[in-house]
């Protein structure tokens, strides 16, 4: 029997639509062709999904597209290895802005990895060990996502609306997941994305309830080495280069003295032009000054910005300092792989891990100069938990800056959180990092990991996530 929905327009007109019949469960899906999902609350959206037997033969795997009129977002979905009928659901996105979540899938936390030209290999420490998980290529123009007329999304706010609509459509159609604990996770620029995406899902729940649709059971956000608050992140570059915050200082004394003297001007200019009020011209000028004084010296060292303990391997723009990204791109450029995944035939170019076009659109919109920490505070005040985890060797979105914004965050648990000292957290009796936690907010470091924690420390990252999902203490 179908469910009747009420469309929520600007005037809140009570317009009834034809009965809506969900797809039901994954057993109805085919490997040969897509099944289509629509939703009367989101008339401009369609989701197509199919079975796609690849990567992890022990669980169900699915791929598809979120179609928003002329824009199409590609996604992967993997069932839990433990108990897909009861386990939580995780939404994962990589950052950039403009980088494909195929990196997260095939390099970091997915059920298989690509390490050479021979294809995928089973990954025992995948995050789907105890959770059902999405990997989404977003915004449009990233990875296998595309637009009919070449348009791109240029702000995190635009991207959030598409992500939240997809979540609502999926949970409504596949009722087996209705009410299941849901977690939104990402790394790097995901520190900007995820707080906005989760806020959109939370606010959208009111519309779902009003229309008689079960709300999304959003439980937490998880951000790894996130770009969340520029006011605390930018000054932290001095700490990472010129103090033994993670490794011995990597810059010469003369350069560090110049940087120390420039730091107050950088902080003052950033606060006045990007934080207190957003003045696009002056904020852009402030960021250029800060980058020249704090970022350029590090770039000249030749070190890996994602792992300050190592030199960059390959060209940064070509490999992100990780040659394995070339293997991933080669695998996803194969016609047989694309046919297996159901990649739209209109995509004929070789796969690229990160899109310069999307990155440029976000840069043009100055999206990267906006912070997302206020969204984190608002979520915490509404009972949504937040895990902020950081590899200690990362430079670009480092633990120093992330710790500073969590301590400075104004919310109803700030005093309790700030009163907690950092303590060790352990795996198999061995210390693997430091943690501070109170009132739903947890900050954790992972020692010896870089920007991509699950890549460098797969066992520790899985233990971190499993404890988080189970509500256990780190």
pLDDT in tens, 102-128: 999 999 999 999 977 778 999 999 999
**Catalytic-labelled residue, pool 56, 67, 394, 456:** 394
Q: What is the mean pLDDT of residues 18-40?
A: 68
The pLDDT of residue 68 is: 83
Q: What is the mean pLDDT of residues 233-251?
A: 96
Q: What is the mean pLDDT of the chain?
A: 90
* Range with the poorest average pLDDT among 40-54, 121-135, 172-186, 436-450: 40-54
The pLDDT of residue 10 is: 35
Q: Residue 8 above 70 pLDDT?
A: no
Tell me, yes or no, if the pTM score tops 0.75: yes
DSSP 104: I
Beta strands 182-188 and 218-226: pairing type? parallel
The pLDDT of residue 18 is: 40
How would CATH label the architecture of 25-231+369-470?
Answer: 3-Layer(aba) Sandwich (3.40)
Q: What confidence tier does 56 reach under pLDDT thresholds 50, 70, 90? A: confident
Q: Residue 314 above 70 pLDDT?
A: yes
Locate the domains of the chain by residue range. Answer: 25-231+369-470, 251-300
Q: Is 148 a catalytic residue?
A: no
* 273-289 confidence digits (pLDDT tens): 999 989 999 999 999 99
Question: Tokens standing for 95?
Answer: 């950052």
Question: Tokens standing for 226?
Answer: 């996130």
**Catalytic-labelled residue, pool 188, 199, 372, 437:** 188
Q: What is the mean pLDDT of residues 177-198?
A: 96
* Range with the poorest average pLDDT among 32-46, 150-164, 291-305: 32-46
The pLDDT of residue 427 is: 95
Q: Residue 293 above 90 pLDDT?
A: yes
C-alpha R_g of the chain: 22
The pLDDT of residue 119 is: 84
Q: Is 115 a catalytic residue?
A: no
Q: Pick from 62, 63, 138, 54: which is nearest to 100 by CA?
A: 138
The answer for residues whose C-beta is within 8 angstroms of residue 324's C-beta and 6 or more apart is: 107, 114, 115
What is the helix (H) or strand (E) element at residue 19, kind and residue range? none
Q: Residue 452 above 70 pLDDT?
A: yes
For residues 311 and 23, is the Cβ–Cβ distance under 8 A? no
The pLDDT of residue 412 is: 97
Distance CA 172, CA 168 (A): 6
Q: Pick from 256, 225, 233, 220: which is nearest to 382 by CA?
A: 220
Q: Is 173 a catalytic residue?
A: no
Q: What confidence tier does 473 reach under pLDDT thresholds 50, 70, 90? A: confident
Residues belonging to the chain:
474
- The residue assigned the tokens 């988080």 is 468
The pLDDT of residue 23 is: 58
* 369-405 confidence digits (pLDDT tens): 999 999 999 999 999 999 999 999 999 999 999 999 9
* Range with the poorest average pLDDT among 4-8, 266-270, 330-334, 361-365: 4-8
DSSP 177: G
Q: Residue 13 above 70 pLDDT?
A: no
Question: Tokens standing for 424?
Answer: 């060790």
Q: Residue 150 above 90 pLDDT?
A: no
The pLDDT of residue 38 is: 77
**Catalytic-labelled residue, pool 126, 162, 451, 461:** 451
Q: What is the mean pLDDT of residues 425-445?
A: 96
């Amino acid at each position: 029997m179908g469910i009747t929905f009420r469309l929520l327009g600007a005037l809140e007109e009570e317009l009834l639509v034809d009965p809506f019949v969900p797809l039901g469960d994954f057993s109805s899906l085919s490997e040969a062709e897509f099944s289509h999902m629509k939703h009367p609350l989101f008339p401009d959206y369609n989701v197509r999904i199919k079975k796609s037997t690849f990567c992890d033969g022990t669980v169900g795997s699915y791929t598809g597209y979120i179609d928003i009129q002329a824009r199409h977002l590609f996604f992967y979905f993997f069932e839990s290895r433990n108990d897909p009928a009861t386990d939580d659901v995780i939404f994962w996105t990589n950052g950039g802005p403009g980088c494909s979540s195929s990196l997260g899938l095939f390099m970091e936390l997915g059920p298989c990895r690509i390490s050479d030209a021979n294809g995928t290999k089973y990954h025992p420490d995948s995050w789907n060990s105890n959770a059902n998980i999405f990997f989404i290529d977003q915004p449009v123009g990233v990875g296998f996502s595309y637009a009919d007329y070449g348009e791109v999304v240029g702000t995190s706010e635009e991207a959030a609306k598409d992500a939240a609509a997809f979540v609502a459509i999926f949970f409504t159609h596949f009722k087996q997941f209705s009410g299941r604990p849901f977690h939104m996770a990402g790394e790097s620029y995901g520190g900007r994305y995820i707080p906005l995406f989760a806020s959109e899902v939370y606010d959208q729940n009111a519309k779902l309830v009003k229309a008689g649709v079960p709300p999304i059971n959003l439980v937490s956000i998880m951000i790894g080495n996130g770009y969340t608050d520029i006011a605390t992140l930018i000054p932290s570059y001095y700490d990472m280069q010129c103090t033994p915050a993670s490794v011995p200082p990597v810059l010469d004394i003369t350069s560090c003295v110049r940087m120390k003297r420039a730091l107050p001007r950088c902080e003052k200019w950033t606060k006045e032009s990007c934080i207190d009020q957003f003045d696009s011209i002056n904020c852009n000028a402030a960021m250029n000054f800060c980058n020249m004084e704090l970022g350029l010296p590090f770039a000249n060292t030749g070190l890996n910005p994602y792992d300050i303990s190592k030199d960059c391997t390959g060209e940064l723009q070509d490999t992100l300092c990780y040659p394995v990204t070339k293997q991933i791109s080669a695998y996803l450029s194969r016609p047989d792989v694309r046919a297996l995944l159901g990649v739209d035939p209109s995509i004929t170019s070789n796969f690229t891990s990160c899109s310069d076009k999307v990155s440029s659109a976000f840069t043009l919109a100055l999206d990267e100069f906006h912070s997302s920490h206020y969204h984190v505070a608002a979520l915490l005040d509404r009972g949504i938990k937040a895990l902020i985890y950081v590899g200690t060797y990362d430079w670009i979105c480092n633990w120093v800056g992330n710790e500073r914004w969590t301590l400075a965050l104004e919310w109803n648990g700030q005093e309790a959180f700030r009163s907690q000292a950092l303590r060790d957290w352990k795996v198999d009796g061995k210390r693997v990092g430091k943690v501070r936690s109170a009132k739903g907010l947890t900050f954790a470091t992972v020692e010896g990991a870089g920007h991509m924690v699950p890549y460098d420390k797969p066992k520790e990252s899985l233990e971190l996530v499993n404890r988080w999902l189970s509500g256990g203490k780190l």
